[in-house]
Structure formats: C-alpha cells, structure tokens
Amino acid sequence: MRRIWLDLLTERATRELAKRTSRRSFLARVGAALVGTSALPLLPVARASDVPDDAALSGNVGDPKSCDYWRHCAIDGFLCACCGGSQNTCPPGTEMSPVTWIGTCKHPGDGKDYIISYNDCCGQSLCMRCRCTRTEREKPIYFTWQNNDLLWCFGTKSRAVHCSVAVVLGVATKS
C-alpha cells in the first residue's frame, strides 16, 4: 500500500527527534513535565474559598447554555457553550480575544460577587445560537470600556466575532 504523506512526515520527524535526543533525556523531560503538571494545582494561590461551586446549582442558573446562567449577568452575544466551546473555552478554530469586557456577577449559591471576564472568541462568523443580552453593571456607549455592545475582538488575527465566554477571574467581595 502506498504510504500517505502524513506517514512519511511523521516518520521523518520521529527519526530526526531520535537522532537529536537520547531515550534517557526524553524520559527525564516527560518525568519533569508530569511532576510539574501535578504540582500546578498545589501552587500557593487562594483557591478553595474563592472557587464558585457550580455543581451545586440547578436549573437555568447552573446551565452554561442558558442566558440565565449566573455568570451571564452582563453578557451580550452568543454563548460559546452552544457553539462548540464552553463557558470557559472558545470553539475550535476561533481565537480568544486578549482584550475583554470585565464585570461582576453574584453567585446564587454562596451570594458572593465574582469577577467575570467576557472574552469574545474571534475568527469565524456569528454563531447565531443562544443569543443573550443581559446588562448588569453595563454602562452606556460613552463609557466604551464598560459597554458590551462593542465588538471585543481586539488583538486577535480576525475582528469577526463568533461567540463569548464567561471566565471567572476571582472573587470581588470577601464577605
């Protein structure tokens, strides 16, 4: 059977790698990566007390595909959870904008206000599923940095907006 180009490419890359590295160094790097990755959750950041407990929520306030989901109190756009991504991640083929609209939403379970970042996912045309318009703490257009009607695909390769995520950055109030 004729080998396809991917096989050839993979073989060539593997042989190149084998020429340049010893098995021992490869294993050492894999080991370091495994240890490093497992250490990440242990880094001394305040987590447990600030992580909202989404698993305890039920109904629309706990459904990332709903406009009523608690993190969506100021979202204006299409929910990435309905577009092949999630409330935290962009769908494949889109790029998360580094410039973002940030506000706070109250978690219905613990009553705390959390800092939410509404990053647009950019690079494809509008998703057109799960359109939401909520305006808590939004300001009129003349406060451009607190207005969510704007396209927020700044700093991305494409200005085309596909959908929006709602990432929790931290807790806004300690009480």
Partner 1 sequence: MLAIVLWATVATAGEPAVDYALNCQGCHRADGAGTPGRVPALAGSVGRFMHVDGGRDYLGQVPGAALSALDDASLAGVLNWIVERFGGETDFTRYTADEVGRLRKTPLVDVEGVRTRLLARAP
Whether 135 contacts 100, CB under 8 Å = no
Q: Is 35 in the site for partner 1 (CB under 8 A)?
A: no
Residue 53, H or E segment:
none
Least Å distance, CB 136 to partner 1, is 13
Q: What are phi and psi of 32, to 5 degrees?
A: -65, -40
- The structure tokens 């009480």 sit at 175
Nearest to 63 by CA among 7, 99, 93, 108: 108
Least Å distance, CB 25 to partner 1, is 25
Nearest to 164 by CA among 62, 54, 69, 89: 89
The active-site residue, picked from 63, 70, 76, 101, is 101
Least Å distance, CB 48 to partner 1, is 10
Q: Which stretch binds partner 1 (CB under 8 A): 27-35, 61-69, 121-129, 166-174?
A: 166-174
Q: Which stretch binds partner 1 (CB under 8 A): 21-29, 57-65, 97-105, 126-134?
A: 97-105
Rounded CA separation 12/36 (Å): 30
Whether 69 contacts 164, CB under 8 Å = no
Q: Is 47 in the site for partner 1 (CB under 8 A)?
A: yes
Whether 101 is a known active-site residue: answer yes
The active-site residue, picked from 63, 70, 76, 120, is 120
Whether 63 is a known active-site residue: answer no
**Under the rule (CB under 8 A), what is the footprint of partner 1?**
40, 43, 45-47, 50, 88-89, 96, 98-104, 115, 117, 139, 143, 145-146, 154-155, 167-172
- The residues carrying an active-site annotation are 101, 120
